[in-house]
Amino acid sequence: MTSPSIATLVDILEGLGTNLKDFFNEEEEEKIVFHKDDVFETVNEELKYVLHWIIPNAQKNTMEPIMVTLSQGGRTKEDSPHEGEEFGYVLTGTIYLHLGSEKYKVRKGESFYYRTNSDHYIENAGKSEAALIWVSTPPNF
């Protein structure tokens, strides 16, 4: 029926192995390392690509990294202009980066970076599978 004093609350928390600051801290511990079990995939059979969501719930962050795997002849959906920037690094194969009416060839070990102020998409330029890390800010995938 009564509320404990601050001093009593401090004593209780000490007995429980914590303190006022930690007891009232509402922040969740930030996850730093992500494992294979954290990854989930979205498959687009029509366009022949797989999006690997390597950072779960990244849409709530400032940037959103994914891994894209493109089968031979595969391509991502065309994205309309939007606010932000995108970066990619080709892990395997060769891709074409389409930005508006321009087309850029990007090979394994190469990267790209652009502002998203024109239509854009990626296609597999080779005869084997291509994979890349693609980061969007703000999140857009």
What is the tally of structural domains in the chain?
1
Gap between the Cα atoms of 100 and 81, Å rounded: 9
Which DSSP category does 10 fall into? Answer: H
Question: In this structure, is residue 69 part of a structural domain?
Answer: yes
State what percent of residues in the chain have pLDDT above 70: 98
Question: In this structure, is residue 89 part of a structural domain?
Answer: yes
Q: What is the CATH number of the domain that holds 107?
A: 2.60.120.10
Averaged pLDDT, 132-136: 96
Please tell me the pTM assigned to this model: 0.77
Question: In this structure, is residue 57 part of a structural domain?
Answer: yes
Cβ neighbors of 137 (< 8 A, separation 6 or more) are 62, 63, 64, 84, 85, 86
Q: How far is CA 25 from the centre of its chain?
A: 27
Question: In this structure, is residue 20 part of a structural domain?
Answer: no
pLDDT for 141 equals 65
Among 129, 111, 127, 136, smallest CA distance to 69 is for 129
Tokens of 68: 């894209």
Question: In this structure, is residue 119 part of a structural domain?
Answer: yes
Averaged pLDDT, 56-74: 89
